[in-house]
Structure 1
Amino acid sequence: MSYKTILVSLNEVGRIAESVAAAVTLARETGAHVSGLYVIPAVQVYPSVGFEAAPQVFEGNRTFFKDNAERVKQAFEEAMRRESLPHDFHQIDARTPVIADEVVAAGRSADLVVVSATNPDEITGVERDFVEQVVMALGRPVIVLPYQGDAALSLGEIVVGWDGGREAARAAFDALPLLKKASKVRIVRIDPQKDPSLRGSVAGADLAETLSRHGVKAEAQGYPTDGLDEGQALMRCAEDSGAGLIVMGAYGHSRLAEFIFGGATRFVLTRMARPVLMSH
């Protein structure tokens, strides 16, 4: 298994440099073709309220993305040509105001999709829940870049969050082409001492053994939360080890349950400090 087509979403205009840099790193490591995707959303139409006869039309997002289209295309293509990477650029005039819908539709034909998180403190024109929509609906692995900082993607060391669940298994094997490139892969089980079935065993050792047959330099370890949220503990583990990528399953519980009770996915998406590969 290898990645042959990587799609990078370019609508977070303020994070173009970081998004393109991540795509370049991935393409160099895997030899994949890179497709840049830029969506011009349709105007937003709001129903009329009160005594107003006509609906309200908001064109601000459409205008903003139209005005920045040429700059985004130029930044993407210059970076690809500079690195001599096979690439193409697609600008889509969307049928709806929802950018995520077009990214999902295009991304289902790719091996891997790269997106940037949306800064909750800024209005960027991209939906606030853009990443959640893409991860939940896409059916492909998604690398999410932090919305601040340099968002540098490195494959030297990778941390894989492992709980034995469906989403974690999907993520681990979706990430296999990248895990094979890493000099070290840590299979991390958060608080294994809380699971009676794991007593007397090394949590994640079975996955590490399977990955080793693919040539992955993997080792399994438990990691205590010390009272931290699971997502926070996973990020701290990655920080302690200097990992350049976290791999994890997304939304093992429903999004509503994570919103109400909290969850690793929600915590990581709101406070991530390094790239994360997610699968659902």
Structure 2
Amino acid sequence: MGYKTILVSLNEVGRLPQLLAAATKLGQALGTHVSGLYVIPAVQVYPSVGFEAAPQVFEGNRSFFKDNAAKVREQFEAAMTKEGLAFDFHQVDSRTPIIADEVVAKGRCADVLVVSTTNPDEVTGVERDFVEQVLMGVGRPVVVLPHQGEAKLSLDDVVVGWDGGREAARSTFDALPLLRVAKKVRVIRVDPQKDASLKASVPGADIAETLARHGVKVETQGYPTDGLDEGQALLRCADDVGAGLIVMGAYGHSRLAEFIFGGATRFVLSRLNRPVLMSH
């Protein structure tokens, strides 16, 4: 079963060219329908403080997204038309100021989502934890683009992070439509020498055999971390081979545990330098 509908979230207006490029790349590679989603958030209402009787209302984000709506729609439709893709565009006037809520609701009816991380050094009007909210809530695979750089998505060389866990299995099989059309897929097992059960075996061989039966051009590789955590190791491996996409599970631990103790998902999202497909 392949992807039939891609949903691309367009509220990161400053990353619109990169979002459109990724969506059209996937649409072309898989022959899918592309849905553009643009959310006009509700005004932000803050409770009154001190002796003020009326609550404070902030309309800045809503005004910003209303002002950019026509431009976003025009660029989305032009990009899809240029590539000859089937598409539709949805502008949602939200009842809440949380953009992620609408993306999660709409995204549950898509096969895969395309989103961008939010630049922590800029105020873009999108929630700082937008990607985390979507990953945890949507129940679908999400292709996440970095908030800076070209963010070019390529299926020439794909790195799959594999540890045998639930989230790794979910993301790997969620990514199957992309893995089938990739020129090369590398299943990476980080620090296999630390797992006694893997001695005298090829790390990742079981999942590689399954992927090969699906027609995936796959190879396996153990990757010592040299003291790095798994997220760092995956990014370094992707750098080493020039991967155009990383596939990995998201939040094998709770978000709170990752926030307190660190974790692969949190590290990769904060240091992301290329597209990554994540599933939770």
Q: TM-score range by the shorter chain?
A: over 0.9
- Report the 3-state secondary structure (helix = DSSP H, G, I; strand = E; otherwise coil) of the residue aligned with 2:278: strand
Amino acid at match of 1:213: R
Aligned: 1:226 with 2:192: no
2:165, 2:233 → 1: CA distance? 18
**CA-to-aligned-CA distance 1:8-62 (integer Å, 9 cap, x gap):** 0000000000000000000000000000000000000001111110100000000
Aligned to 1:97: 97
Aligned counterpart, 1:193: 193
1:7-156 to 2 correspondences below 5 Å: 7-156=7-156
Deviation at 1:219, TM superposition (A): 1.1
Mapped to 1, the partners of 2:72 and 2:198 lie a distance apart of: 50
Instruction: Report the secondary structure of 2:149's partner residue.
Output: coil
Q: Any unmatched runs of 5+ in structure 2?
A: none
- Which residue of structure 2 aligns with residue 249 of structure 1? 249
Partner Cα distance (1:164, 1:126) in 2: 34
Which residue number corresponds to residue 172 of structure 2? 172
Normalising to structure 2: TM-score of the pair?
Answer: 0.99
Gaps of 5+ in 1: none
Bigger Cα displacement from structure 2, 103-112 vs 226-235:
226-235
Matches of 1:118 and 1:202 in 2, distance apart? 38
* 1:225-274 Cα shifts (integer Å, max 9, x gaps): 10112101101101111110000000000111111111100000000000
Distance 2:164 2:95 in 1: 40
**Aligned residue type for 2:141:** P
Which amino acid counterpart does residue 233 of structure 1 have in structure 2?
Answer: A
Q: Report the Cα offset of residue 197 of structure 1.
A: 1.0
Measured after TM superposition, the shift of residue 4 of structure 1 is 0.3
Q: Which runs of 4+ in 1 moved over 6 A?
A: none
Partner of 2:163: 163
Distance 2:55 2:200 in 1: 65
Q: Quick one: percent identity of the two aligned structures?
A: 76
* Residue of structure 1 equivalent to 2:271: 271
Q: 1:97 and 1:41 mapped to 2: Cα distance?
A: 5
SS of 2:11 mapped into structure 1: coil
Q: Deviations over 1:65-109 (max 9, x none)?
A: 000000000110000111111000000000100000000000000
Q: Is residue 2:231 matched to residue 1:210? A: no
2:243 match: secondary structure: coil
The size of the alignment, in residue pairs, is: 280
- TM (norm. structure 1) is 0.99
Q: Which amino acid aligns with 1:238?
A: A
Match of 1:155, as an amino acid?
L
Task: Please report the RMSD computed on the Cα atoms of aligned residues, expressed in angstroms.
Answer: 0.5
Paired residue type of 2:6: I
Q: What SS does the aligned partner of 1:6 have? A: strand
Counterpart Cα distance in 1 of 2:133 and 2:62:
20
Q: Which amino acid aligns with 1:105?
A: A
* Whole-angstrom distance in 2 between the partners of 1:217 and 1:84: 28
Q: Distance in 2 between matches of 1:48 and 1:205?
A: 60
